[in-house]
Amino acid sequence: MKKLALFFIALLLLGCQKELTNQQKKLQAKLPPDAEFSADGTLLAQGRVVHVADGDTLTVLASNQQEFKIRLQGIDSPERGQPFGKQCKQQLIGMAANQTASVEAYKQDKYGRVVAKVSVNGKDVGLEQLRAGCAWHYTAYAKEQSPSDRSAYATAEQQARASNIGLWQDPSPVAPWDYRHAK
């Protein structure tokens, strides 16, 4: 009986490992061939930021000249039609446009974008967007962040709110997920 239980546990673990490998392969297909896996299973890549779509989405040109659309992990910025949408896009442009970016890819979203933590000049651009009052900490996906990132992002949003920075100047800002749902 013990051997049978151990067999099923091993089978279950192998099944989980296969699933993780399939997720990694799917993600790897969305990034340049020279991207490497980190010890914690994230995919690491570098490229130049060639386009900023809004306050939480940018495009990176990899060394193989292929473009990759990146959704910043852990934040949600105002949409284009929302108050502060343009300002928050400009904030991200000022920080990242034409800069070399380090990309820590975690997954692919339902729109085919790579969800990643992006750093430019050693700074986490998602965290900087929060500090500038240009994003909400996307708590619906916070469990996908490391504990230290989750804490830093929550603190940055709280501090921006308390200081009435950026979108927090609005007496009743509408979260982007509520804005999208209302459309």
Question: 43: Cβ–Cβ under 8 A, 6 or more apart, which residues?
Answer: 24, 27, 28, 31, 35, 36, 37, 103, 104, 105
Q: Specify whether 79 is catalytic.
A: yes
Decide if 22 contacts 104 (C-beta within 8 A): no
The torsion angles phi and psi of 124, rounded to 5 degrees, stand at: -75, 110
Query: What is the distance between the terminal CA atoms of the chain, rounded to a whole angstrom?
Result: 57
Side-chain-facing half-sphere of 167: CA atoms under 13 Å: 29
Q: What is the identity of the amino acid at 91? A: Q
Active-site annotation holder among 19, 48, 67, 79? 79
From the candidates 36, 48, 67, 71, give the one annotated as an active-site residue. 71
Catalytic residue list contains 48: no
Catalytic residue among 104, 113, 131, 157: 113
| Catalytic residue annotation | 71, 79, 113
